[in-house]
A and B are shown apart, each in its own frame.
Chain A
């Protein structure tokens, strides 16, 4: 029991260290640059306590829950040799976690507004809703496809740089043909797709797979799934903008 308490205290001090920069930056700009008083100081302190406790709990839960289950599923599927099951799992994980992502819902709605104003679609609620829905589905399918491709890469052990550099060249080529108003959203969509719970799970999946397949190096082959998941939405969203 004592060990658990000491361990948790360590997590709390780590969390404090991780949050110190934000507190310093905000305090500096508030006091020195903007020269404003802090509104509602009590509320801020309560909030900070929540943030520190929350971060410590999250890291603890990561080690207990998300990492082990991700690796266990990867190992079990690799041992079964069920390629279809593994690829289906990768797609479901990518699609399922992205389609309901709040950040993506917000970005899709904004993108529909832009398209309406630019005259790419009719400027009414119905057309915008269907545009936003189509965009969300596009991104979710692209993240699913990315994880399938990424898992496949781990299985065959191809070096990641060919895929990523190829992807960059695709992004740049498509940028030249895509409507200008979609480019900013497309570039940002790569960043918003990977949520805080998906990332640890996907990372554990990749590392677990690479560790349980003979001849794969977890460092060289295990990482990289997130990179795929942040690159494909850019390509898919621009193509969506060209077709819609």
Chain B
């Protein structure tokens, strides 16, 4: 219990240090440029207190409950003994099916719980006047991370060069940009950057490191990197895809009603 409290205080101190530069910048510009007391100052300060306290609790809880298990799992699943791979056997990508399954499901699950994604999705719902649903957007992003992390794991196993995959992802994004509806585009681009923070990075990084260590011929330093990049590109693809799907469904229901009217 005492260890837990000490841990909580440590994490809170680290979070305060994280917030400090932001608070200083806000204060300086408020005092020098805006020169007006912000409305509801007390409420805003309480809001900051909640954010600090909430984030610290969240991190402590994750470190207490989920990260050790998630990281241990990543190590166990990438262990050749568990996968039934004989020592010295050539690397075959089919031997790692459990790894891809774990990568996809943990990528999806951690993204759904990512606080910065929650923030952006809430804002998008508010700005769009509710036509864009925050939860649906988050699911679309999480599917993107799931695809990204499992394709990224396949890349580490197969040892193929990272830039080719990222280039293919970019090519997809560029094509989709021309096909998707305009209002979704900036939000889709943003969703690439918000997916990978507090919850996703530690577990995904452990997976990459575990894979690169376990597979002969891969260097953890060189091949362990790159999973985050996958998790940043593919959500753009799925969010744009989600928008295209919705437009297509709407068009579909329109044409069916049109044809019904015509036949009637």
A residues apposed to B, CB below 8 Å: 18-19, 21-22, 24-26, 28-30, 33-34, 36, 38, 43-69, 72-73, 76-77, 80, 82, 85, 88-89, 92-93, 96-97, 99-103, 110, 113-114, 117, 159-161, 164-165, 168, 171-172, 175, 181, 183-185, 187-188, 190-201, 203-204, 207, 217-227, 229-230
* Total residue contacts A-B, CB cutoff 8 A: 345
**Chain A residues near B182 (CB-CB < 8 A):** 159, 220
**Chain A residues near B19 (CB-CB < 8 A):** 197
Is the CB–CB distance between B46 and A188 below 8 Å? no
Is the CB–CB distance between A187 and B22 below 8 Å? no
**Chain A residues near B183 (CB-CB < 8 A):** 217, 219-220
Q: How far is the CB of A179 from chain B (nearest CB, A)?
A: 11
**Chain A residues near B113 (CB-CB < 8 A):** 18-19, 21-22, 55
Q: A48-B61, A230-B192 are in contact. Are A58 and B55 (CB under 8 A)?
A: yes
Is the CB–CB distance between B186 and A224 below 8 Å? yes
B264 lies within 8 A of chain A by Cβ:
no
**Chain B residues near A114 (CB-CB < 8 A):** 221-222
**Chain A residues near B4 (CB-CB < 8 A):** 46
Q: How far is the CB of B165 from chain A (nearest CB, A)?
A: 10
Contact for A203 among B63, B190, B224, CB less than 8 A: B190
Q: A22-B66, A73-B34, A187-B162 are in contact. Are A97 and B109 (CB under 8 A)?
A: no
Selected A-B contacts with CB under 8 Å, 15 pairs:
A18-B112, A34-B73, A52-B61, A53-B57, A53-B61, A55-B58, A55-B118, A57-B50, A57-B54, A181-B222, A191-B196, A194-B197, A199-B197, A200-B119, A226-B120
Q: How far is the CB of B73 from chain A (nearest CB, A)?
A: 5
**Chain A residues near B124 (CB-CB < 8 A):** 219, 223
**Chain B residues near A204 (CB-CB < 8 A):** 123
Is the CB–CB distance between B57 and A203 below 8 Å? no
The secondary structure that dominates the B interface is helix
Is the CB–CB distance between B43 and A64 below 8 Å? yes
Residue interface bits B207-243, CB-to-A below 8 A is 1, else 0: 0000000000000011111111101100000000000
B206 lies within 8 A of chain A by Cβ:
no
Is the CB–CB distance between B24 and A190 below 8 Å? no
Is the CB–CB distance between B61 and A160 below 8 Å? no
Is the CB–CB distance between A66 and B193 below 8 Å? no
Contacts of B1-31 to chain A: CB distance below 8 A: 4, 14, 17-19, 21-22, 24-26, 28-30
**Chain B residues near A18 (CB-CB < 8 A):** 112-113, 118
Is the CB–CB distance between B50 and A58 below 8 Å? yes
Q: A73-B26, A73-B29, A89-B33 are in contact. Are A29 and B102 (CB under 8 A)?
A: yes
Complex: how many Å from CA A54 to CA B58?
Answer: 4
B163 lies within 8 A of chain A by Cβ:
yes
Q: A34-B73, A65-B48, A187-B166 are in contact. Are A229 and B193 (CB under 8 A)?
A: yes
B246 lies within 8 A of chain A by Cβ:
no
Contacts of B173-203 to chain A: CB distance below 8 A: 173-174, 177, 182-183, 185-187, 189-190, 192-199, 201
